[in-house]
Structure 1
């Protein structure tokens, strides 16, 4: 069973665009990481400072290896854009194959 990692980020009001750009870059980078199945960036519709990054991995170890590959200076620069510490958790990914028709 694959795993999903859901990460929540809250940007400083004056840093919304910069955080969105940073998280977009991270998603593109980790999509190419060994063991990554997907990475998506979402922004809350009612709270523009809130972002989620939803990653799917073959296992937790693949995620950990990818996280270690992000340069420390890049992480420090990103922390300056945040209003609070990011949070994240792992979930079992049941990988349900749903189509648009399933929602109608």
Structure 2
């Protein structure tokens, strides 16, 4: 059964567009990962520093393995864009 992974990200003041660009740039890497079904990025209408990424995966393990597809140097550069550590959770569909 497929799962959803919902991640929340908050940009540092003045880094909102840079974080949006970074998150958009890793979307193809996510979608190219084994077990990825879909990935959508959203920006809060009332808070331009807040983003949600909603991903659908075959399994949580597929999501966890996908992190290796993002180059470590790219992740290191992105760390300076976050106001707080990203948070995320897995969700099961209700049929």
Name whichever of 45-54 and 62-71 sits farther off: 62-71
Q: Which residue of 2 aligns with 1:45?
A: 45
Unaligned runs of 5+ in 2: none
- Scaled by the length of structure 1, the TM-score of the pair is 0.85
Q: Are 2:7 and 1:11 equivalent residues in the alignment?
A: no
Could you give the per-residue CA deviations for residues 62-101 of structure 1, whole angstroms, max 9, x where no partner exists? Answer: 111111221221111111001111101111134x7xxxxx
In structure 2, distance between residues paired with 1:18 and 1:33: 24
Please report the RMSD computed on the Cα atoms of aligned residues, expressed in angstroms: 1.2
Q: Which residue of 2 aligns with 1:92?
A: 92
Superposition pairs of residues 19-58 of structure 1, within 5 angstroms: 19-58=19-58
Superposition pairs of residues 72-91 of structure 1, within 5 angstroms: 72-91=72-91
In structure 1, distance between residues paired with 2:43 and 2:68: 25
Q: Secondary structure at the match of 2:81?
A: coil
- Report how many aligned residue pairs link the two structures: 95
